[in-house]
Structure formats: structure tokens, C-alpha cells
Amino acid sequence: MHKKNFTENTNSLIEVVPVGQDRKLFDEFIVLPYRLYAKDAAWVAPLKTEYRFMFDRKKNPFFQHAEAELFLCFLKDAWGRGKVVGRISAQIDYGHLKIHKDDAGFFGCFEAINDMEVARALFTAAEQWLAARDMKTMRGPYTLNINGEAGLQIDGFQHVPMFLTAYNLPYYRHLVEGSGFAKIKELYSWRYSREFIVPPLAKKISQHALQNKAVKVRTIDMKHFEYELGIGLKIFNDAWKNNWGFVPPTDAEIQKIGRDMKMIMDPRIVVVVEYKGKVAGMAITVPNINEALKPLKGKLFPFGWLKLLWNTKVRRPKKCRLMLLGILPELQRLRIGGELGVLLSVEVYRRAKAAGYHEAELSWTLDDNHAINHVIRMMGSHLYKTHYVYECPIGNR
């Protein structure tokens, strides 16, 4: 599929160019996946308007602490005419560097035909850009950092991807690993179905927690949405601050997350647990908007927005994604903290089922987060998709 038979002088046919501020090249960057995934039944085309915002240095708050460059790979024929056959981004998140001090730059948005020479040319361009800015390691794929779409999918391709999760063609693993990258982390996605039955132990723990008069469970208060979401994100920042690669979102990014979430959120499946009158934990679950986006094929105008409204507000998605679940750090080492974590998990399932959802994904967790993975397995979920994060020392490929 997409395999090109090169002449012996392969490199003379390949040209990688930076997109810079060239609008025509940027348009080529956006539309390439539509050609590569044309026959892929699972792929969900991203909204082109969202992609334009993502790389708008003036509008996207990510660029208040980061910089990036986009690259396109052209394959030239004997007459010098070029066809776009690949793309990649290179980015530096100075927020990440400030916390982790690892001189790691990132790559992302990798798309290419099934040819190793094309892949290597793209990775070389990204590597050179990062090296010129004194980075020592290239890591990814991230769009744009670990808080976005993270990792390269390596299994579970029969499943349509959930909202804000990475998806790629199966042969990309061969191209990435063949270009000198080694896996450094696995990101796990877990599946629950409507037929799921809460395990007796989890049910017992959650019921015991509810018997505590200091414990209260409720849905998010949409009248005070920004305040509640702010508390939730603070919980996650505190709870995840020691996790591998974690970078807390800035205030500007939190505001954007709030605006985006409010548009799609179903408050029935956003669960808050209080302990002694204060918010102690939260589980943020969102409808799988990809079900509404898939028929649009990336086009919101002229009538795509009507279809989007119909598919989200009337027809409604049948799947949802549990994106974040956290308990205050000061409670995590206490028995009550463990009980509240199980209680949140049980309540999310119960409320999602009552709201008419047929399937849920919990994603993602790190492969070495053994404690949380044990709890998830205890809840009866099963691992159904895996993403790899790769890394390569710059100059050693």
C-alpha cells in the first residue's frame, strides 16, 4: 500500500521543506492525511478549522511557552514535479524543559507513505531543527505535547478512535522504529461495555464509602462550571505532578480547556466526590465527539455545523471517554482516598449507563503505574489499545 519503487539514486527524488508562514504549504500539511487515510474505515478526520487554530502562534496558548516548525516531504518525478508524500512537526515545550530539565524536543503530526526513505528524511529534518536549538533528545509523537494526542498506536486498529486520542496507520510503527527510535513508554487504553458488571469487591468498597456521612457524591455544577473545573484541574495537577513527562497546563490553557469542555460536556457523567464539605476528587468523562465528527469528513462549513449539533445534541454519541480521574494527594495514602477512588469509578459507570451510553474508554494510563492499573483491572476493565512513546538521542540515528 502506497509503496513507491525508487530509482537507485533515491535521495535526489526526495525534498523536505519547512512550512514556515507559507499558507499554501500549510494547506498541504493539513490535507495530506485525507489522502493517506482515504480507505481507512476507522480514521476520523479532524476539523480543519481546529487544525488551523492548533498551529496559530497568536491564538493557541501553547505557543506562549513553546515553539514549533512544520515540514513537508515532496517526491519529485523526472520532470521535477513534486507530490507531497509525508509531513512532520518539531516542537520545543519550554514548560516541559523547565520541569524535567532533560533537553528533550518533540516530534508529532507524523504522516507518510509506506516508505522508509521518506520517513527517515522527515525525521532528519525534525532532528536538525531541534539540534539547532540545543536539544539532545527527540521524543514523540506528541500533538503538541503530552497533554494533547500522545503516542503511536500499535494495536486495536479495528476500533474507531475516541475523542482526543491518537490514531495512525499500522505501518507507522515500522517507519518510526526503522528510523532509529526506541520505545520508552507504553500508554494504555481500557474498555468498559454496557454489559459490564461492577465486581463485588468494588461494589462493597463504594457502598462502604457512601455510608460515611462525611462523603457526598454529585455531578458537576454547571452554574459554577469554571470554578469547579478549576478545582478539578488543580486536583489532577497535584495528583499527577510526579508522573513521567507530566506538564501542568498554564492558566491560559486551562481557560481554553474550560471553553472547549463546556461546549461538549454532558454534566451527567462528570462526577464530583466531596469529603468533609470540600471537593476531594473528580472524574471528568466526555461524550465521544468523534462519533459526531466522523460524518463531517473534516468540514464544518457550510452545513457541517448543523450535522455536528444534530449528532451531539439530538442523536447523541453512544460512547464516552473517561479522561481524568483524581483524588486529592493528601488523601491518596489514606484508606478513605482509596475508597473515594473506587467510588468515583463505580459512579461514573453507573451514571454513564443510566444516561444511555453503551461503551466507555478510560485513557490513558502509564504502563508502569501499577497501582492504578491494578485498580482498573479490579474494576473489570480490559486493556484494548496500546500507544508507544518513542525516543532517540539526537545525532545517534
16 shares its domain with 164: yes
Clarify whether residues 138 and 201 are in a common domain.
Answer: no
Do 15 and 155 sit in the same domain of this protein? yes
Same structural domain for residues 255 and 341? yes
We report the CATH number of the domain holding residue 93 as 3.40.630
How many domains does one find in the chain?
Answer: 2
Percentage with pLDDT > 70 across the chain: 90
What pLDDT digit, counting tens, does each position of 299-337 carry?
A: 655 444 445 554 555 567 899 999 988 888 888 888 998
Average pLDDT over all residues of the chain:
88
Residues 167 and 44 grouped into a single domain: yes
Residue 373 lies in a domain: no
| 328 found inside a domain | yes
Bridge partner list, 251: none
Q: Is there a domain that residue 394 lies in?
A: no
Q: Is the pLDDT of residue 128 over 70?
A: yes
The whole-number pLDDT of residue 299 equals 61
Both 277 and 317 in one domain: the answer is yes
Least confident of 169-173, 204-208, 300-304, 365-369: 300-304
For residues 157 and 199, membership in a common domain is answered with no
Long-range contacts of 165-171 (CB under 8 A, 24+ apart): 165/189, 165/321, 165/361, 165/363, 165/364, 166/141, 166/387, 167/42, 167/43, 167/44, 168/110, 168/111, 169/36, 169/37, 169/40, 169/114, 171/1, 171/114
- Is 367 part of any domain? no
**Which residues face 84 on adjacent strands?**
74
Residue 51 has pLDDT above 50, yes or no: yes
Contacts of 64 (CB under 8 A, 6+ apart): 250, 252
Please tell me the predicted confidence (pLDDT) of residue 79: 61
Residues 350, 210 share a domain? yes
Question: Are residues 33 and 180 both part of a single domain?
Answer: yes
User: Domain for residue 223, yes or no?
Assistant: yes
- Give a yes or no: residue 389 inside a domain: no
CATH of the domain at 214: 3.40.630.30
Average pLDDT over residues 354-379: 89
Kindly report the pTM of this predicted structure.
Answer: 0.89
Q: Does residue 40 sit in the same domain as residue 172?
A: yes
234 plus 98 within the same structural domain = no
Q: Please tell me the predicted confidence (pLDDT) of residue 91.
A: 98
Domain boundary, last residue among 186, 210, 239: 186
Q: Are the C-beta atoms of 292 and 300 separated by less than 8 Å?
A: no
Instruction: Verify that 205 and 174 share a domain, yes or no.
Output: no
In a domain, 392, yes or no: no
Kindly state whether residue 377 falls inside one of the protein's structural domains: no
Return the C-alpha cell found at 7.
Answer: 530509482
Full residue range of the structural domain in which residue 328 is found: 195-357
